[in-house]
Amino acid sequence: MDAGTIATFDPSTDADSFRGALGTFVTGVTVITTDSPEGPVAIVANSFASVSLDPPLVLWSPAKSSKRFEHFAGSRRFAVHVLSSDQRDICAAIIKSKTAIKDVPTHLSHCGMPIVEGALATFECNLEATHDAGDHVIIVGRVTKAHHQGGDPLVFHAGQYRTLTKED
């Protein structure tokens, strides 16, 4: 939408406009992994948010309509990976297939979670709580171990991937 144009709408009857307005909020991109009876599975999510420092809590929300929903809603443990700008191919592969994580460079955490190599940050979580939230569920994780390394993030805005440019 052009700068200066204003749209006012009822989000309960105009989901496209609502999605567009929500898309103005710039986010990073995460890959969330867990183990399942089918082996390791993953989902791309930008609903990730920090919640609490003490205790260390984070959240994300899977859509109930996702074919992967049962894997994540039923999981007691998961790992959140904040993707770097050079991990777009991983993102694309995981959107196509929940089991594409098997072809991504990973190692197993001490509790068996697939950990994606090269992510900017990784949060290994135990399930703390779930909250029903419309067509999504909010999953709160207690972070049991975290990893952090330098680099530029993959950014998502208005339905497109972006990279950050630094100001002089």
Ligand X SMILES: Cc1cc2nc3c(=O)[nH]c(=O)nc-3n(C[C@H](O)[C@H](O)[C@H](O)COP(=O)(O)O)c2cc1C
**Binding interface with ligand X (CB under 6 A):** 29, 43-47, 60-63, 66-68, 95, 156
36-74-12 Cα angle (round to 5): 125
Min. distance of Cβ 137 from ligand X in angstroms? 9
Nearer to ligand X, 160 or 165 (CB): 160
Among residues 62 and 114, whose Cβ is nearest to ligand X? 62
The least distance separating ligand X from the CB of residue 66, rounded to whole angstroms, comes to 3
Q: Which two tokens stand for residue 95?
A: 């959107």
Q: Is the peptide bond before 40 cis (omega within 30 degrees of 0)?
A: no
Task: Compare residues 66 and 144 and give the one whose CB is closer to ligand X.
Answer: 66
Give min distance, CB of 23 to ligand X, in A. 10
Which residue from 38, 51, 37, 39 is spatially nearest to 80, judged by alpha carbons?
A: 51
Element (H, E) at 18: helix 15-22
Q: How far apart are CA 168 and CA 116, in angstroms?
A: 32
Rounded least distance, CB 4 to ligand X, Å: 27
